[in-house]
């Protein structure tokens, strides 16, 4: 599984990265993580607000910091 966090590196982007990594570890997922910080790369996903969570090249969450429960729900779809 490939997980990307889209964002400029702001506090919310870092929080999303940390929370998502924590959830992936709890679910024992075999996942690689990448931070996408370049604006042109972020825009290529069609989102206007960050942070964004992309799983296997599909935008799952954009423009808000989701709760841990929301991240669990998203990642469980890929089990």
> Is 13 annotated as catalytic?
yes
The single residue of 1, 10, 39, 43 carrying the catalytic annotation is: 10
Active-site residue identified among 5, 6, 13, 24: 13
Burial class (CB in 10 A: 0-12, 13-18, 19+), 41: exposed
Would you call 10 a catalytic residue per the annotation? Answer: yes
Cα distance between the two ends of the chain: 10
Task: Name the DSSP class of 63.
Answer: S
Catalytic residues: 10, 13
């Amino acid at each position: 599984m490939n997980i990307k966090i889209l964002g400029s590196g702001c506090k919310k982007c870092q929080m999303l990265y940390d929370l998502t990594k924590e959830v992936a570890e709890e679910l024992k997922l075999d996942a690689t993580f990448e931070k996408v910080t370049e604006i042109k790369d972020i825009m290529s996903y069609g989102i206007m607000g960050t942070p964004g969570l992309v799983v296997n090249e599909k935008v799952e969450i954009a423009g808000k910091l989701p709760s841990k429960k929301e991240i669990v729900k998203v990642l469980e779809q890929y089990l």
